[in-house]
Amino acid sequence: MENENSVVEKEVVSKNFIEQIIEKDLAEGHCKSITTRFPPEPNGYLHIGHAKSILLNMGLANKYGGSFNLRFDDTNPTKEKIEFVESIKADVEWLGAKFEERLFFASDYFDQMYEAAVMLIKKGKAYVCDLTAEQIREYRGTLTQPGKDSPYRDRSVEENLTLFEGMRNGEFEDGSKVLRAKIDMSSPNINMRDPVIYRVTRMTHHNTGDKWCVYPMYDFAHPIEDAIEGISHSICTLEFEDHRPLYDWVVRELEYEYPPKQIEFAKLYLTNVVTGKRYIKKLVEDKIVDGWDDPRLVSIAALRRRGFTPESIKMFMELVGVSKANSSVDYAMLEYCIREDLKLKKPRMLAVLDPIKLVITNYPKGQLEYLDMPNNQENEELGSRKIPFSGELYIDRDDFMIEPPKKYFRLFPGNEVRLMHAYFVTCTEYITDDTGKVVEVHCTYDPETKSGSGFDARKVKGTIHWVEATTAVEAEVRLYENIVDEEKGVYNEDGSVNVNPNSLTILEKCYVEPALKDAKAYDSFQFLRHGYFCVDCKDSTKDHLVFNRIVSQKSSYKPA
């Protein structure tokens, strides 16, 4: 019995605080079922922090047998575009968050929001105010001083209804009048000091066109959207904690039978990355990056283009966890997750990124043979393939040195190494160009040392990879580093990003084995000794392969 109790206790402790709240609400009848939502504003591309919210909301809906909605909070037409709507839908679907037919727009509820505002006016809980935005700020007071009432606060219900209808009908100039909730100008929470809930603004909306010239404010619209959709728990980040009393006030005054409950959790902060939309927009506009999906960024589209997988991002979010306390996470943890996800799934291929020719002088001229190579030595289920081999190969430049340092076990004059999955070769000479740069290495091979033959008469310390020259496929390879110059910090004093000048290195003439010639967008592989690479989805073509490095081979990061 004692053991059973300890197991139960551990199970309770393992639940995050949101799950504990949900289970209590279900038990006490606060809600009949669980419905969550991801409510992005379509004013930019989503980033890694949004992925946490998407997966958290979807995960809670799945765990408790509920539903998950995707809803666009499109109440501010000045910054919103259809481009962003489509990119967000693609990101959410890619992460595996299934919203099915539950795709909504806040703008679909504009009629209901208008009626809700009218209801508040009739209850004496809202009034039309003629103060300017600057005057409203002055009247609001400070954290230490209470606000003071607007001179328009005591307008009659009839006058407020007439004026609000006039706002809707376009009788007043933009910014000349607003509708404010009548709550408490002396509240210690500034958000409760008669907040603006509607403003006049003539803007064409991407969804409703020119139907409206009044638009609701986010803090008013959001709880209504949640209530209309039957959201049981409105999961949001910590900056909305001070807005919760207003959220609760709105759903209470509008008398919803099952009011949604707002719960806040800590945002995801990654060290030395750029997530702010205005900063990314500036990088795009200044052509420092080639779009919101540039693989150096941490937008979800950029991570997908670089070669990250939904599984790796889910693993990352599980390691990060859910808490109430803000903290920063090292980007190396995200890299660890993609390595862990790919290492047993992907074939290990031959690729030479900085090539020099290697000629085996005693190999039969014109002969081409095919050698066996396992696709992944750690996962036999991936099988094996045949790789071509001849007397002309490419090797990586750093696998040969004329005068090597101690403990350099690769190729140098007089040294013998193994060509991976092939033969032992011994360097006999090398050729340089007019600048002294090595352009060709000559070797002899020992035909008795063929890989898999059981040869063990002698051992060599070095093994190098290679690509057969006559069948090799030329490719462009892009090596990415952090867009941020980490030594200087993320931002300059003027608010611009400290850009790392080495964030992108383009290697235009690399060689990969012929098995990769038909690789398609998003296909990913491990290039032996170099890391994990993905076919670029924008610039790669059948005649010009482009590979993005997802992550290097190894990392010093270890999970706790």
**∠ CA 304-205-55, rounded to 5°:** 30
Q: Which of 187, 215, 243 is the last residue of a domain?
A: 215
DSSP of 221-285, one letter per residue?
HHHHHHHHHT-SEEEEEGGGGGGHHHHHHHHHHTT-SS--EEEEEPPEEETT----HHHHHHHHH
Return the minimum-mean-pLDDT range out of 102-116, 150-164, 489-503.
489-503
Q: What is the CATH number of the domain that holds 114?
A: 3.90.800.10
Residue 560 banded pLDDT, cuts 50, 70, 90: low
Q: Which token pair is 193?
A: 């000091």
Tell me the C-alpha distance between 516 and 506, whole Å. 19
Q: Is the pLDDT of residue 8 over 60?
A: no
Q: Does 137 fall in a domain?
A: yes
Statement: residue 10 has pLDDT above 60: no
Residues ≥6 apart with Cβ < 8 Å to 74: 41, 42, 80, 85, 105, 106, 107, 205, 206, 207
Q: CA 260, CA 263: separation in Å to the nearest integer?
A: 10
Domain end position, chosen among 196, 215, 234: 215
In a domain, 290, yes or no: no
pLDDT at residue 212 tops 90: yes
Determine contact, residues 45/3, Cβ cutoff 8 Å.
no
Region 315-329 average pLDDT: 91
Section 126-135 average pLDDT: 97
Residue pLDDT, tens place only, 166-205: 999 999 999 999 999 999 999 999 999 999 999 999 988 8
Q: Are 361 and 428 in contact (CB under 8 A)?
A: yes
Specify the higher pLDDT residue, 526 or 82. 526
Rounded Cα–Cα distance for residues 337 and 25 (Å): 34
Helix then strand then coil, in percent of the chain rounded to 5, is: 30, 25, 45
Show the tokens assigned to 488.
């200087």
Query: In this structure, is residue 341 part of a structural domain?
Result: no
Q: Across the chain, what does the average pLDDT equal?
A: 92
Question: How far, in Å, CA of 347 to CA of 523, rounded?
Answer: 11
358: β partners: 393, 441
**In total, how many domains does the chain have?**
2
For 406-435, the pLDDT digits (tens) are: 989 999 999 999 999 999 999 999 999 999
pLDDT, residue 224, reads 97
- Tens of pLDDT, residues 508-527: 999 999 999 999 999 999 99
Model pLDDT for residues 456-499, shown as the tens digit of each residue = 778 899 999 999 999 999 999 999 999 998 888 888 877 788 89
Q: What is the mean pLDDT of residues 257-277?
A: 90
Report d(CA 69, CA 435) in Å as an integer: 64
Among 517, 526, 522, which residue's Cα sits nearest to residue 545? 517
Residue 389 has pLDDT above 50, yes or no: yes
pLDDT of residue 2: 43
pLDDT of amino acid 485:
87
- Domain C-terminal end among 197, 215, 233: 215
Q: Residue 12 above 90 pLDDT?
A: no
Distance CA 534, CA 557 (A): 22
Cα–Cα distances in angstroms (integers) from residue 338 to residues 58, 306, 477, 560, in the given order = 21, 11, 19, 17
pLDDT for 5 beyond 50? no
**1 has pLDDT over 50:** no
Tell me if residue 31 falls in helix, strand or coil. coil
Note the pTM of the prediction, 2 decimals: 0.89
In angstroms, the Cα distances linking 131 to 231, 246, 462 are: 35, 21, 79
Q: Domain residues for 149?
A: 110-215
Closest by Cα among 193, 254, 224 to 111? 224
Which pLDDT does position 276 carry in this prediction? 82
- The C-alpha angle 551, 315, 306, rounded to 5 degrees, equals 30
268, amino acid identity: L
Find where tokens 């409206």 sit. 212
**Does some domain include residue 399?**
yes
How many whole angstroms separate alpha carbon 222 and alpha carbon 104? 13
pLDDT at residue 506 tops 70: yes
pLDDT tens digits, residue range 84-94?
999 999 999 99
pLDDT of residue 3: 46
Mean pLDDT of 444-459: 89
Residue with tokens 């902060």: 269
Task: Please report whether residue 167 resides in a domain.
Answer: yes
The residues with which 328 forms a beta bridge, in sequence order, are 269
Does residue 6 register a pLDDT over 70?
Answer: no
The answer to whether residue 353 sits within a structural domain is yes
Residue 162 lies in a domain: yes
Per-residue model confidence (pLDDT) at position 14:
60
**Amino acid 77: pLDDT:** 83
For 201, the token pair is 């603004």
Mean pLDDT of 98-102: 92
Q: Cβ of 8: how many Cβ atoms within 10 Å?
A: 10
Q: How far apart are CA 210 and CA 559, in angstroms?
A: 53
Question: Among 7-11, 344-348, 350-354, 487-491, whose mean pLDDT is lowest?
Answer: 7-11
The helix-helix angle for 48-63 and 82-94 (nearest 10°) equals 60
Given a cut of 70, is residue 450 above it in pLDDT? Answer: yes
pLDDT attached to residue 7: 39
pLDDT at 454: 81
Q: What CATH number is attached to the domain comprising 508? A: 2.40.240.10
Q: Which of 218-222, 227-231, 555-559 has the lowest mean pLDDT?
A: 555-559
From residue 125, alpha-carbon distances to 122, 247, 252, 414, 549 in Å are 7, 15, 12, 91, 58
474 falls within a domain: yes
d(CA 218, CA 246) in angstroms, rounded, equals 11
- Per-residue pLDDT at 559: 59
